[in-house]
């Protein structure tokens, strides 16, 4: 069954992930392409999730797609992704879940393995995107307003007004 979820409501089973997908493509390259709109979330393989009753409360957990979930969560923080489509698993082998479940944070976060510069590089991608995105938004919300003064041409004096 397909479910629509906020990435922020899905927890991780693993405590760490590789910065490179199984097909050899770096997460940072894919994240950048998603952030800038060169790729759509629909171009990314759907993650699979399941519900697990932990201490009387049902929580969503990712079964496969920890790296994809990491990217979706970062994109959600930037306002690029609202919800994602996921495959809901109803029959889960609990032995495999318990083997995978090595999270020390209750599934709230993961660490990127073997790439100490990953978080800094991710931050730089986001920073550049925000600067570019802000400048694009800024120019779309401003109009040029000309003053008409008696001593000079109206084209000599102008300012930008936010609307």
pLDDT single digits (tens) 103-122 = 778 789 999 999 999 999 99
pLDDT tens per residue across span 51-103: 987 778 889 999 899 999 999 999 999 999 999 999 999 877 666 666 676 77
Question: What does pTM read for this prediction?
Answer: 0.78
- Sequence-separated (6 or more) residues with CB below 8 Å from residue 132: none
Count of alpha carbons within 13 angstroms of residue 13, beta-carbon side: 20
Domain boundaries, given as residue ranges, for the chain: 2-162
Non-local CB neighbours of 26 within 8 Å, separated by 6+ positions = 19, 20
């Amino acid at each position: 069954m397909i479910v629509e979820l906020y990435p922020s409501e899905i927890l991780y089973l693993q405590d760490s992930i590789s910065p490179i997908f199984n097909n050899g493509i770096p997460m940072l390259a894919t994240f950048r392409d998603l952030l800038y709109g060169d790729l759509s979330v629909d171009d990314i393989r759907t993650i699979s999730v399941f519900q697990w009753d932990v201490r009387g409360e049902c929580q969503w957990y990712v079964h496969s797609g920890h790296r994809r979930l990491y990217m979706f969560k970062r994109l959600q923080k930037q306002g690029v992704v609202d919800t994602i489509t996921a495959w809901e698993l109803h029959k889960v082998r609990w032995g495999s879940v318990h083997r995978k479940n090595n999270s020390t944070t209750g599934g709230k976060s993961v660490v990127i393995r073997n790439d100490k510069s990953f978080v800094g590089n991710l931050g730089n991608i986001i920073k550049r995107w925000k600067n570019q995105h802000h400048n694009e938004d800024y120019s779309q919300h401003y109009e040029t307003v000309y003053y008409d003064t008696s001593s000079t041409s109206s084209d000599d004096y102008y300012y930008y007004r936010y609307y």
